[in-house]
Chains A and B, each alone.
Chain A
Amino acid sequence: MITVSVSHLWKRYGKTVALQDVSAEINGGSFFCILGEPGAGKTTLLRIIAGLEVPDEGDVFFDGQNVTLVSAQKRNVAMVFQDFALYPHMTVFENIASPLRAIKAEEGKIRERVHEVAAFLKIEHLLDRSPLYISGGEKQRVAIARALVKEPKISLFDEPLVNLDFKIREDMRAQFKLMQKEFNQTIVFATPDPVDAMSMADQVLILHEGKVQQFATVWEAYYRPSNMFVATYLGFPPMNILSGELREEGPHLFFVASGLKVDVTDLPGIREVRERKLLVGIRPEHLLLGDEKGAEISWDGEVLLSEIVGSDTIVHLKVGKDLGLRSFVPGIYRVAVGARVTVNLRRDNIYAFKESGESVIFPGRHESLFNTFKG
């Protein structure tokens, strides 16, 4: 286990800038997610850490040692590719044994180690097969076994869940986490799916167009997003965004958007906001339906659609004149289209952003609140 750090990385391909001044530190033993849309630079960053790509500027350090120019085969890293990249002309056993053959390990030791890893991933029955004739989920496990077998300093995963069935994805997430604990690994995991980051990661690096948006623990990014991009991206379903303005009426301060009026006089930090035009964000999971006791803000809403995701429900609502909001309700919640419901919100769950996207108000701002979320 080593600490990997990258500092001020730049990488250009022709005219496109893949990475712009990217710095991050990956602690040994942590599950580190690089989150970003396709083309955000995730894969480039991963490849630079692996040694498959040399940055134009900036350095890569393994435990303080500069390895920027060290080639991939000398770095002792493992990588799981998006297309799995199994050797089609070798058996599954030989695929997994490959890194051990590279260091010329003893035959007996190779057998022992391959079987050990295969047993953990439940692929022992595949060892004699060709990787051409196994399912996607099985290929995935073989690719992971090949990564685990050599006890690498760090394991890099390049969107390994993208090509898999939904159900297998779900099972694999728990597997990754258990595997990381069992083998005491440092894992860097690139993914476009915020659910991956939220369910597995300790730390997350959010990239957008090659630039770091935020580098923090997942829950810090969730409760204290640096900007609107992070806030909307890191959440499922995405945050509701209301565009409106602050209005002063006597001693009171209101946020007004599409016919809704919210008293924000007591909202901590609101007095320091200079801008009048604001974007307010409300996470769907913070919008509670029904008669909530002690709700600070309540609106009347009309149900447009209820949508079941997994074992939970997303309710699409119309509030005020024509404001569309999404509410996330745990469990299967069947409600008729057109039904009237009360929508409740706690004031300290409000996020607000400047027009430029920069965060000004977020739940994590209140230190006490943030601690309770940590449990």
Chain B
Amino acid sequence: MKKVDWKRFFGILGLVVYGIFVLFPIYWTINTSFKEVGDVYKVPPSFIPTKFTLEAYKFILQGTGRLALSNSLVVAIGATLIAVFLGTMASYAYSRYPFTGLTNEGAQFNLLTVRMFPPIAFLLPIFWLWKTLGLLDTHFALIVTYSAFNLPLAVWLLKGFMDSLPRSIEEASYVDGYSFWQTARRVVLPLIGSGLAATVALCWIFIWNEFIIAYLLGGTDVILYTAYLPALRRGMRIMWNQIAALSVLAIIPSVIILVLFRKYLIKIYLR
């Protein structure tokens, strides 16, 4: 008789339950996106569409939905790149020159405090700022605001990676005869590559999924998909199938990034 390995059995059972818990909402979103709107409101709900239709996707991809998705892509890519680029520079300074005026401990702490306030607390002043400058509802305003909000996160994450890179490796490169910028390209960037990837992924997720800024600073000329989602209704009727279709489309870029950068993201938790 083979002994039953109960520990293993319950372990797997636990994982299965957890898997259902995590995957069900995604499955349900996909399920809903292929239904007709009437089908959505049926009680009891059906676990597969009674009539399989691409209507919801067609609606999203033909109208404002496509515009909202492409706006979101432009803003998220722009803001992520800026935040990570500036974050790399700033984190290097914070890591290597921790005692000079602009980079001392106090300044580093200050930077983190930005993320301690609820965003709504200073979004109104920022709203008036852009309004006065006549830049409200532009890609520019959104990109700048998003990168500003995510810069502290990028700096904080990257500083950890910079700190774990021994100073002597850079110095060895100077002694070998390379300049500062050559060293940055040859040694520093390749060695914090995984940190960069992880930071890109995290910044992307925060920016792509953000709602309040998108709602307050955009909305008419430049509408982002998160701000467009609540607009999907006909009178009192919420178009759940269209919302689900837009959500499914919006998940795609994040999934691609997560799959590509998965192993680097884990490094943040392992550190």
A and B touch in the complex (CB under 8 A): yes
- Partner-A contacts on B (CB < 8 A): 99, 166, 168-169, 171-179, 182, 186-187, 190-191
A102 touches B177 (CB 8 A): yes
> How far, in angstroms, from A103 to B176 measured CA to CA in the complex?
9
Q: A83-B166, A88-B191, A89-B191 are in contact. Are A98 and B176 (CB under 8 A)?
A: yes
Nearest opposing residue in chain A for B169, CB measure: A85
A99 touches B176 (CB 8 A): yes
A residues in contact with B177, CB < 8 Å? 73-74, 76, 99, 102-103, 150
Q: Does A52 contact B (CB under 8 A)?
A: yes
> How far, in angstroms, from A194 to B232 measured CA to CA in the complex?
80
A52 touches B171 (CB 8 A): yes
Please give 12 more A-B residue pairs, beta carbons under 8 A apart, in addition to A52-B175, A85-B172, A102-B182. Answer: A51-B174, A52-B174, A76-B177, A77-B175, A81-B172, A85-B168, A85-B171, A86-B169, A88-B191, A89-B191, A99-B177, A150-B177
> How far, in angstroms, from A157 to B178 measured CA to CA in the complex?
19
A72 touches B191 (CB 8 A): no
> How far, in angstroms, from A52 to B174 measured CA to CA in the complex?
8
B174, B190, B191: the one within 8 Å of A73 (CB)? B174
Q: A87-B187, A88-B191 are in contact. Are A71 and B174 (CB under 8 A)?
A: yes
> How far, in angstroms, from A11 to B190 measured CA to CA in the complex?
33
A residues in contact with B173, CB < 8 Å? 87, 98
> How far, in angstroms, from A50 to B186 measured CA to CA in the complex?
21
A residues in contact with B175, CB < 8 Å? 50, 52, 72-73, 77-79
> How far, in angstroms, from A103 to B182 measured CA to CA in the complex?
12
A residues in contact with B187, CB < 8 Å? 87
Q: Does A146 contact B (CB under 8 A)?
A: yes
| Residue of A50, A72, A88 with highest tally of chain B CB at under 10 A | A72
Q: A87-B187, A89-B190, A89-B191 are in contact. Are A102 and B168 (CB under 8 A)?
A: no
Name 10 interchain pairs, CB-CB below 8 A, sorted by A: A51-B174, A73-B179, A79-B175, A81-B171, A82-B168, A85-B172, A86-B172, A89-B191, A102-B176, A150-B177
> How far, in angstroms, from A41 to B177 measured CA to CA in the complex?
25
A residues in contact with B186, CB < 8 Å? 87
Nearest opposing residue in chain A for B176, CB measure: A99
- Partner-B contacts on A (CB < 8 A): 14, 50-52, 71-74, 76-79, 81-83, 85-89, 98-99, 102-103, 146, 150
> How far, in angstroms, from A102 to B173 measured CA to CA in the complex?
9
B residues in contact with A51, CB < 8 Å? 174
B residues in contact with A77, CB < 8 Å? 175
Nearest opposing residue in chain B for A47, CB measure: B171
> How far, in angstroms, from A139 to B76 measured CA to CA in the complex?
44
B residues in contact with A103, CB < 8 Å? 177
Nearest opposing residue in chain A for B171, CB measure: A52
> How far, in angstroms, from A214 to B174 measured CA to CA in the complex?
31
B residues in contact with A102, CB < 8 Å? 176-178, 182
> How far, in angstroms, from A52 to B176 measured CA to CA in the complex?
12
A79 touches B172 (CB 8 A): yes
> How far, in angstroms, from A72 to B182 measured CA to CA in the complex?
13
B residues in contact with A76, CB < 8 Å? 177
B171 touches A83 (CB 8 A): no
Nearest opposing residue in chain B for A97, CB measure: B176
CB of B163, distance to nearest CB on chain A (Å): 15
A residues in contact with B182, CB < 8 Å? 102
B residues in contact with A79, CB < 8 Å? 171-172, 175
B residues in contact with A87, CB < 8 Å? 169, 172-173, 186-187, 191
> How far, in angstroms, from A236 to B81 measured CA to CA in the complex?
60
In the A-B complex, the 6 residue pairs with the smallest Cβ-Cβ separation, listed nearest first, are A102-B177, A85-B168, A85-B172, A72-B174, A99-B176, A81-B168
> How far, in angstroms, from A76 to B174 measured CA to CA in the complex?
10
B residues in contact with A71, CB < 8 Å? 174
A85 touches B174 (CB 8 A): no
CB of A114, distance to nearest CB on chain B (Å): 13
CB of B240, distance to nearest CB on chain A (Å): 49
> How far, in angstroms, from A82 to B14 measured CA to CA in the complex?
49
B residues in contact with A74, CB < 8 Å? 177
| Residue of B177, B186, B191 with highest tally of chain A CB at under 10 A | B177
B residues in contact with A52, CB < 8 Å? 171, 174-175
A73, A82, A83: the one within 8 Å of B178 (CB)? A73
CB of B121, distance to nearest CB on chain A (Å): 38
> How far, in angstroms, from A74 to B174 measured CA to CA in the complex?
9
A residues in contact with B179, CB < 8 Å? 73
> How far, in angstroms, from A82 to B176 measured CA to CA in the complex?
16
Nearest opposing residue in chain A for B182, CB measure: A102
A residues in contact with B169, CB < 8 Å? 85-88
CB of B31, distance to nearest CB on chain A (Å): 45
CB of A90, distance to nearest CB on chain B (Å): 9
> How far, in angstroms, from A81 to B171 measured CA to CA in the complex?
9
CB of B116, distance to nearest CB on chain A (Å): 30
A residues in contact with B178, CB < 8 Å? 73, 102
> How far, in angstroms, from A77 to B177 measured CA to CA in the complex?
9
> How far, in angstroms, from A52 to B177 measured CA to CA in the complex?
12
> How far, in angstroms, from A82 to B166 measured CA to CA in the complex?
12
> How far, in angstroms, from A146 to B173 measured CA to CA in the complex?
11
CB of B15, distance to nearest CB on chain A (Å): 33
> How far, in angstroms, from A124 to B182 measured CA to CA in the complex?
28
B residues in contact with A86, CB < 8 Å? 169, 172
